[in-house]
Every structure is written in structure tokens, then in C-alpha cells.
Amino acid sequence: MNNMVEVAGMIRGWKEAGKTKSEIVILTAKATMGWPYVWGAIGDEDTVERREYYMNRSAIGESDKELIRKRCQQLNGSADSCTGCTYFPGGFHTRMFDCRGFTRWLLAQVGISLQGAGATSQWNDNSNWSEKGEISALPPGNVACVFKHIASTGKMDHTGMHIGNGVIIHCSGEVRTGKTTDKGWTHYAIPKGMDGDVPVWRPTIRRGSTGDDVKYCQEILIGLGYNLGSYGADGKFGAKTEAAVRAFQKANGLGVDGIVGPMTWEKLENVSPQPTTLYTVTVPHLTEAQADALTATYPGASKKAEGE
């Protein structure tokens, strides 16, 4: 079983690699297999103190309270520390969820916020969804939340995450797999922000990188007033681009390493360009060769002979 530190590193790596939102949700759901169910929990670190907090909530039933106690070796008196506990792999805790806490936490990892304190309120809040329907109409390739509707109460009794091709990962006792054909699943809903699936972050780029992402970065830097030399936005991450990135990072309170990773991308894409002021500079007594060399240093510059 993975611990919470390992999974956090995995998620960071998937984002830096340019995985899409759907891909990250699927991979994260798989990485948390076996993490425990705790009534009311929404991704808290699985500590004794947080278990006690949920045990003492007034709304919790006795069976759920006993499950929380039974699965904690300190609360049930079988040990005096977390060492050796299933939920303390590698010396770090896992996280804990109830069913709606699990789907909420998964989507939060890709910047999607589900509104609603329970499965029913999540389903009923249409601001959460771009599409809803009966489970029989669920597109097989889509990542979507799935629900179990109880006709007698009119409420959603359980929720999970469809990761494609009829496979569901949900938290019931622990994070586990299921199928859309399992008894009870009745409805699906595709979260807003998951449609038109795009990478959460652009790929990390650095000196030696090439391509459209480099060119896009260079265009932003030029728009912000950074000098990339005569090559401009050519899609090749060279010394001038690295120097500009370092200057940008320093000016914006980022770690200065010349590498455009998630934090630098986020800042680049959210900083307003500086107003552009154009100047005309006259340099007298140059030869034509000298004028050519000077204008080549500044993209967009032009020469004009005296008297023209």
C-alpha cells in the first residue's frame, strides 16, 4: 500500500509530465487502493487524533464509530503507536475518506471543486456537472462520478469514480474496485472541468527543450519585456531563454533555477504583460556592416541611412 507522501510525489510527477486531468484522476485513484473508510472524512491524514475527531461527531452511527475504532490499533488497545499499522506504510500515514470525501478529494487534485456535503447534495448541485444521466447511458471512456439512488428515500446512498470501461473505484470499507454492473449503481455525472480534457500543467521545460511549449513560454517572456536576443520565440530553449526565465523567477519570488516547472508556468500564465513603450534610437557614424550587426541584436529593429 502506498502512503500519503508517496502518492503526493506521484501526483506531482504526473502533473509535471503533462498528464491530463482524467489521467491523473485515474492514476491517483489506483494509487490509493486500500486506504481506509472513515465516516465524514474528506482526505484527512489518517492519524489517531483525526479518527477520534470523527468518532466524536454527533451524527455518526454506532457501527461507523466502531469501524473507526476497530481499524486503529491505538484506539482498540492492541498497540501503543502507529508502527506496524496497515495504514502507516513506510513510516507515513495514508489518508482516509468516506465515499463522497473520496471523489471530492480525487477531483481536488486536478483543481475541480465538488460542492455539497454528501452524495445527495453533490448530485443535486448542477453547478458540479457538465452532464448527468442514468448509468446505462454512461459513455464507456469517460471519467465520471457514479451514484446509487435509493428510490424509497429519494437520496443518493453511495458514490464512486468511474475510471473507464465500466470500472469503478470507490471507498466502502476501504478504497476498492467495482463495476458499473454491480448491483445498485444507478446514475452518473461528469464533473465540469473534466470535459475538453487538458493537461493540468504544461510539461516542465529547461535548457535544451524544444517545441510549442518552449515557444509559448518565450512569447510570454517577450511580452513581459524580457530580451531573448536575435532568435526571439524560436521554440528552442537556449542560454538567452534560460537567463530570461531566471530573471522572471527572481522578480516573482520563485526559486531561481532557470527551469519552467508547475510553479513557474502558473506565474507566467497569470502575470499581466507590461505596457509596451517604443523608442527610436539614432546611432550616428556607423558603417553598413555595423548597422546590420546592431539591428540583428534586437528583434524588430530596422536601420535607416542618414538622409533617407
Closest-CA residue to 42 (of 92, 104, 90, 119)? 104
Examine residue 241 and state whether it is found in any structural domain, yes or no: yes
Closest-CA residue to 193 (of 133, 267, 106)? 106
Based on the fold, state whether residues 164 and 243 are members of the same structural domain.
Answer: no
Looking at this protein, which amino acid is placed at residue 253?
A: G
Number of domains in the chain: 2
Based on the fold, state whether residues 187 and 216 are members of the same structural domain.
Answer: no
- Would you state the pLDDT for residue 144? 94
Based on the fold, state whether residues 77 and 174 are members of the same structural domain.
Answer: yes
Examine residue 246 and state whether it is found in any structural domain, yes or no: yes
Examine residue 306 and state whether it is found in any structural domain, yes or no: no
- Would you state the pLDDT for residue 307? 60
Based on the fold, state whether residues 252 and 150 are members of the same structural domain.
Answer: no
CATH of the domain at 219: 1.10.101.10
Based on the fold, state whether residues 125 and 274 are members of the same structural domain.
Answer: no
- Residue 7 grid coordinates: 502518492
Which contiguous run of DSSP H or E holds residue 188?
Answer: strand 187-191
Examine residue 18 and state whether it is found in any structural domain, yes or no: yes
Domain boundary among 157, 191, 225: 191
Contact in structure between 262 and 19 (CB atoms under 8 Å): no
Query: Rounded to the nearest 5°, which phi and psi values hold at 60?
Result: -75, 140
Q: Which domain holds residue 217?
A: 212-297
Based on the fold, state whether residues 154 and 247 are members of the same structural domain.
Answer: no
Based on the fold, state whether residues 19 and 53 are members of the same structural domain.
Answer: yes
The β-bridge partners of 134 are 187
Domain boundary among 135, 158, 191: 191
- Would you state the pLDDT for residue 263? 82
- Would you state the pLDDT for residue 294? 73
Based on the fold, state whether residues 56 and 187 are members of the same structural domain.
Answer: yes
Examine residue 274 and state whether it is found in any structural domain, yes or no: yes
Name the stretches of the chain with pLDDT < 70: 195-201, 272-279, 297-301, 306-308
Examine residue 130 and state whether it is found in any structural domain, yes or no: yes
Domain boundary among 191, 220, 241: 191
Distance set, CA 81 to CA 59, 78, 85 (Å)? 28, 9, 8
pLDDT in tens, 38-66: 999 999 999 999 999 999 998 898 999 99
DSSP 8-class letter at 79 = -
Contact in structure between 29 and 118 (CB atoms under 8 Å): no
Based on the fold, state whether residues 11 and 101 are members of the same structural domain.
Answer: yes
Looking at this protein, which amino acid is placed at residue 72?
A: C
Between CA 218 and CA 240 the distance in angstroms is 10
- Would you state the pLDDT for residue 32? 98
Examine residue 201 and state whether it is found in any structural domain, yes or no: no
Examine residue 203 and state whether it is found in any structural domain, yes or no: no
Contact in structure between 169 and 175 (CB atoms under 8 Å): yes
Based on the fold, state whether residues 77 and 159 are members of the same structural domain.
Answer: yes
CATH of the domain at 149: 3.90.1720.10
- Would you state the pLDDT for residue 139? 87
Query: Taking the model in full, what pTM does it have?
Result: 0.68
Based on the fold, state whether residues 93 and 233 are members of the same structural domain.
Answer: no
Q: Is 64 helix (H, G, I), strand (E, B) or coil?
A: helix
- Residue 110 grid coordinates: 486536478
- Would you state the pLDDT for residue 215? 93
Based on the fold, state whether residues 56 and 131 are members of the same structural domain.
Answer: yes
